Structure 1
């Protein structure tokens, strides 16, 4: 499958496009973005053509699918244009800025008979299937609560995630991970029971906490933000044990993840095989597009459900005013996400 890349993001440069080169059946043929200079740099580095803008990229007959890594506020408009141009779409998370945008894109992809995927890499890691199966086996007992966190240190002051006009903010950047993990492990019937967001004077959220209730009555506590030391984990807590996934969202490809089971008088650590979650994500996208339809029907529905939770968090959140990060040492480089 011939791929075009739209956007000059750090994640495209560091992770996605180098991995594209290693995935069988996927060929990067062209790149485009907001500036020709960056497009030329990407093209030279990855050995492909450079287009002057996104419209030129979408007009290429040798592009079957498009990977979109523009700022979040532009995900919807470019994914819509790509689908209307007859291209399959892999778009960086989140799929849009709200549930309306997510639903519109999913409906358009279905209408066009095209594959639409949100680049949530962690969904493709085998450690989550292991955790879910262990919980379903009955060894944990009756599940009572779920806790998840994804936080990174303050970002450089000029990072686009501090720009509200570009779809910045912690909720859309890192908060969607624990929300999606809750849906994955607790089921789709989640409702927001409470939320709080630490927000700047311009309304940009820097950190937050969310309380969820599942359809079976499991309570979930989620935390996220740009103000903490790095954390990326979740815990399933039942009446018999606690099961913790220690590197839930951004494990390196070569890492053998460790899942920890804590019982009253016993602790067991499961060392699992390494898994390249990005390569698995790209492979699933490629195979779905090549065989004419979604291989996992829940993925588009999951994107809409996650954004519905985002909308509910915004509606319910108690906002706690905080100063601009520039006044609090934001020149310290953050570790970033995937």
Structure 2
């Protein structure tokens, strides 16, 4: 491998163009080297910020290249497992968009393949790399809010476009796969606990995908309640309510887009402390953590086992609906 991680992207997805491609280009320890797309014109805006970009006309050709060390996969959800496996078998490290799999059991073969190849494979779960979430976890673990009693979660946006992949069941669409990973996964990340039982799942569907879900779940030491929706005005918030304090994140999932990242701590005397994180880019931090893990063996903050746990909770929610 070169003195930096040489990245390729499978597919010219808009999210890759606007967020992850620039993040890969900006992150220390790596460089955006190649793009695979069957539509040559889609490569031009990538080359604007990554001069010298190699362009392959199909995914397998990029995976076969000896000039690529790692791939980022922003393909439709239904293709994530297949191309994560292909990339690992081709000797590439893999960062795949969430949800990496559509069922928890699909992680098992990938974990075994990761272990067998010695390569890094991870879901692109960027929020755990953001300092607001690292700070929230540290405050919780330090006892800042006392014994946790309740977690309240909300994440919504309005996307009725029937052609969008989030609204297409054959591509693994749905609100829970798209944003439930954040409300469920962030709860697990901060608390270190796993759900024991989903008590309630009221899910509205359109054209075969979930467009709104209200969920209640029992964890060992607290109760989780929350909703996700693809048919409501944009909103996001996470609240951890303990016996001695309240911890709030007001732009937990899309800082710099939805609002400024803040961790707000209110104690039992209603004194409020606010910490702000105005310039931190969690996509860049995610790629830098990946590069460091590939180059130096630094433990990666979000291994496949963690992502499997979030998918297991998603599976529990859908099972409770049935």
- Taking the aligned partners of 1:136 and 1:3, their CA distance within structure 2 comes to 36
Question: Which residues of 2 match residues 1-338 of structure 1 at below 5 A?
Answer: 1-33=5-37, 35-45=38-48, 46-47=50-51, 48-191=53-196, 192-200=198-206, 202-215=207-220, 217-252=221-256, 257-274=261-278, 275-291=280-296, 293=297, 295-296=299-300, 299-317=303-321
Query: What SS is found at the alignment partner of 2:264?
Result: strand
Query: What SS is found at the alignment partner of 1:252?
Result: coil
- Taking the aligned partners of 2:16 and 2:160, their CA distance within structure 1 comes to 18
**TM-score for both structures, normalised by structure 1:** 0.87
- Taking the aligned partners of 1:234 and 1:62, their CA distance within structure 2 comes to 42
Question: Does the C-alpha gap of structure 1 residues 286 and 254 become closer, same or farther in structure 2, counting only changes over 3 Å?
Answer: farther
Asked if structure 2 preserves the Cα contact closer than 8 Å seen for 1:31 and 1:42, the reply is: no
Query: What SS is found at the alignment partner of 2:85?
Result: helix
38-47 or 279-288: bigger deviation: 38-47
Give the C-alpha shift of residue 155 in structure 1. Answer: 4.0
Asked if structure 2 preserves the Cα contact closer than 8 Å seen for 1:65 and 1:87, the reply is: yes
Give the C-alpha shift of residue 147 in structure 1. Answer: 0.9
Q: After superposition, what is the alpha-carbon deviation per residue over 1:167-214, rounded to whole angstroms, capped at 9, x for unaligned?
A: 1110101111101011112224223232121112x4211111221222
Asked if structure 2 preserves the Cα contact closer than 8 Å seen for 1:144 and 1:218, the reply is: yes
Give the C-alpha shift of residue 253 in structure 1. Answer: 8.6
Question: Does the C-alpha gap of structure 1 residues 157 and 261 become closer, same or farther in structure 2, counting only changes over 3 Å?
Answer: same
Question: Does the C-alpha gap of structure 1 residues 40 and 189 become closer, same or farther in structure 2, counting only changes over 3 Å?
Answer: closer
Give the C-alpha shift of residue 279 in structure 1. Answer: 1.0
Q: After superposition, what is the alpha-carbon deviation per residue over 1:99-127, rounded to whole angstroms, capped at 9, x for unaligned?
A: 12222222211111000111111111111
Give the C-alpha shift of residue 256 in structure 1. Answer: 5.2
Give the C-alpha shift of residue 68 in structure 1. Answer: 0.5
Give the C-alpha shift of residue 255 in structure 1. Answer: 7.0
Asked if structure 1 preserves the Cα contact closer than 8 Å seen for 2:99 and 2:178, the reply is: yes
Asked if structure 2 preserves the Cα contact closer than 8 Å seen for 1:36 and 1:53, the reply is: no
- Taking the aligned partners of 1:255 and 1:209, their CA distance within structure 2 comes to 24
Asked if structure 2 preserves the Cα contact closer than 8 Å seen for 1:234 and 1:244, the reply is: yes
Query: What SS is found at the alignment partner of 1:207?
Result: strand
Asked if structure 2 preserves the Cα contact closer than 8 Å seen for 1:254 and 1:276, the reply is: no
**TM-score for both structures, normalised by structure 2:** 0.91
- Taking the aligned partners of 1:314 and 1:177, their CA distance within structure 2 comes to 16
- Taking the aligned partners of 2:20 and 2:130, their CA distance within structure 1 comes to 16
Asked if structure 2 preserves the Cα contact closer than 8 Å seen for 1:117 and 1:300, the reply is: yes
CA RMSD of aligned residues (A): 2.0
- Corresponding residue pairs, total: 314
3-12 or 189-198: bigger deviation: 189-198
Query: What SS is found at the alignment partner of 1:152?
Result: strand
Question: Does the C-alpha gap of structure 1 residues 167 and 126 become closer, same or farther in structure 2, counting only changes over 3 Å?
Answer: same
39-48 or 177-186: bigger deviation: 39-48
Give the C-alpha shift of residue 254 in structure 1. Answer: 12
Asked if structure 2 preserves the Cα contact closer than 8 Å seen for 1:187 and 1:214, the reply is: no
Unpaired stretches in structure 1, ≥5 consecutive residues: 319-338
